[in-house]
Amino acid sequence: MKLKVNGKNHNFRGDPAMPILWYLRDELALTGTKFGCGAALCGACTVHLDKQAVRACITPMSVAEGRAITTIEGLSENGDHPLQKAWAQHNVPQCGYCQSGQIMQAAVLLQNNSAPGDDDIDTAMAGNICRCGTYTRIRAAIKTAAEAKS
């Protein structure tokens, strides 16, 4: 099957039931996307599939055929996406494990809502768990990124 990952064409000849996460990590060495729970409950594995947030741990490769996947590595070539800058500005990460999934989920939020309020942010980010509890910093970083994009 043919697909794009971070703007580059790829051919996948493996098991179509393989979760996207393992293709990204094991075959393409894109390790920014993390394995968290394996059941789509924590959001650590969030990537974009045709600009929509999906949980890569349960989404099979068969769904990706002819489509575009974006990982945290592909969000910005230089790591200077407004969300990445805001994350650093607000010192969001503690352990950092969930952060790529958090940022990818937030990017879809800002793509669909350029000026989200607290309720919008809380609703959009509800499926992404941060075991360190940096939710107030995540919300502040999203608002800062929204302002930077406008």
Domain limits, CATH 1.10.150.120, in the chain: 82-149
Distance, first Cα to last Cα, the chain: 38
CATH superfamily, domain at 82-149: [2Fe-2S]-binding domain (1.10.150.120)
pLDDT digits (tens, 9 = 90+) for 29-80: 999 999 999 999 999 999 999 999 999 999 999 999 999 999 999 999 899 9
Mean pLDDT of the chain: 96
* CB contact set of 110 (below 8 Å; sequence gap of 6+): 82, 83, 116, 142, 145, 146, 149
> Helix and strand tally (H, E) in the chain?
7, 5
- pLDDT for the residue 149: 78
Query: What is the C-alpha to C-alpha distance for residues 4 and 94, in angstroms, rounded to an integer?
Result: 32
- Out of 2.30.33.40, 3.10.20.30, 2.40.160.20, 3.40.50.740, select the CATH number for domain 2-75: 3.10.20.30
Q: Report whether pLDDT(102) > 90.
A: yes
What is the separation of C-alpha 32 from the centre of its chain, rounded to a whole number of angstroms? Answer: 9
C-alpha triplet 33, 35, 38: angle, nearest 5°: 130
Please report the beta strands in 27-139, taking only residues with DSSP state E, as ranges in sequence order: 46-49, 52-55, 68-70
Residues of the chain with CATH 3.10.20.30: 2-75
Mean pLDDT, to the nearest integer, of 100-118? 98
pLDDT for res 150: 67
Query: pTM of the prediction?
Result: 0.96
Residue 142 · residue 83 · CB < 8 Å: yes
Q: 3-state class of 31 per DSSP?
A: coil
CA distance 74 to 41: 23
